[in-house]
Amino acid sequence: ARARSGKLQQSEYTGSTFSVSNVGMYGITSFTPIINLPNAAILGVCGIKDELILKDGQVAVAKKMGLSLTFDHRLVDGVPPAQFLVTLRKLLE
């Protein structure tokens, strides 16, 4: 409620190392979020949509949601962020 009313103190929303940007509520299915300094990474969450897939040789409808992870290669190698996305995908599925 305080965040929505603009009453947060600056110390309550600064100093993070990771951000999440959710544009899914606008129906966006793909985007590339920009890192907010001094963060090391930002996760972009896209909208959920129905998509036709093959499951056990049959056509089925599945819910699909895009995720975009932007990270600073000066701070982190590419493997840990990829592993993070794999884990996140498994948890969401």
Indicate which residues carry an active-site annotation: 73, 77
* β-pair partners for 84: none
The neighbour count for residue 42, using CB atoms within 10 Å, is 20
> Residues 22, 29: contact at Cβ < 8 Å?
no
Residue with tokens 């992870």: 69
